[in-house]
Homo-oligomer: A and B are copies of this chain.
Amino acid sequence: MSGIFDETTHEKLSEEGRARRHAMLMGGAAIAATAAGGLMPGGARAEAIGKTEKPIQFLFAIYPNGTLLDFAGPNEILSRIPNTKVRFASPDGGPVTLEKGIVFGPTEKLSDINEVDVICVPGALDLSAMMKPEMLGHVRRLSETARYVTSVCTGSIILAASGVLKGKRSACHWAFLNVLKEYGAIPDPARIVKDGRFMSGGGVTAGIDFGMAIAAELRGAQAAQEVQLLVQYDPQPPFHAGNPLIAPPKIRDAVYKILPGSKDGLMRPII
């Protein structure tokens, strides 16, 4: 395996630097330890946040037909902030078949979770697996004791349906924002919305921005920005069509046709 990396480099590298890089990219013990600690050297980070503090328990409540990026985005941030344990739970536990046949696991069973510090409900086009009284009951139960109750995309519709968002401002995917009203929540078209202990992100990709915001809330701006640099979150979309207010009319009109109901104005953003 040592031949894979050509050490006849064009630069003058220290022996130590070369050895460390090699060990990292080839999955050596050093990086295994680092990765286990969320990319943070355990000692330094533990010191910064208080050695005796218990890890924050962050739960993604996922479900069949859910949208992967809704939670894969914030997970990439939260799984790297110090002293934070990201857990996944689903209605039946085990591997979960998401939208487009993707299978994700492992997950715990939602009914087995006693209490968490943060509950996050990601979204989907098909919310049916969570819109059952039993599942809404678990969402409500965990929300009552959590420090933060959060969502990404249409996950806020699940939170709202569980009854915990009455009178609270919340984000949602732009096309479904008005649905929140039906459960007494206050739709907010912002990409990241905070109303007391309730935090939410807009549609799909907003989960990354939400992840940054909740990471800063939980562990401070320094830790959140360190992770931002680690995951090189310096977005540069090649087009500007990410919300209906800025999208070219021909893009917006095409999507209004694609998403059923938007032609009737059911799902237009509130501005």
Contact = CB atoms under 8 A, between A and B. Distances in A.
Interface in A8-41: 9-11, 13-14, 16-18, 20-21, 23-27, 30-32, 34-35, 39-41
A255 B222 CA distance: 11
A267 B14 CA distance: 13
B224 A239 contact: yes
A15 B7 CA distance: 69
B76 A25 contact: no
Given A182-B6, A237-B235, A72 B68 contact: yes
Interface in A232-271: 232-244, 246-248, 250-252, 254-255, 257-261, 263-264, 266-267
Interface string A101-117: 11111100000000000
Contact of A127 (B9, B25, B260): B25
Contacts of A154: 25
A239 B246 CA distance: 22
A25 B204 contact: no
B72 A17 contact: no
A204 B69 CA distance: 13
Interface residues of A, number: 118
Given A35-B125, A39-B259, 10 more contacts: A1-B128, A11-B181, A17-B264, A21-B260, A27-B65, A67-B76, A173-B232, A204-B233, A212-B237, A212-B239
A192 interface: yes
Contacts of A13: 264, 266
A127 B75 contact: no
A173 B5 CA distance: 17
B209 A229 contact: no
A126 interface: yes
Contact of A205 (B14, B101, B231, B258): B231
Contacts of A255: 226, 229-230
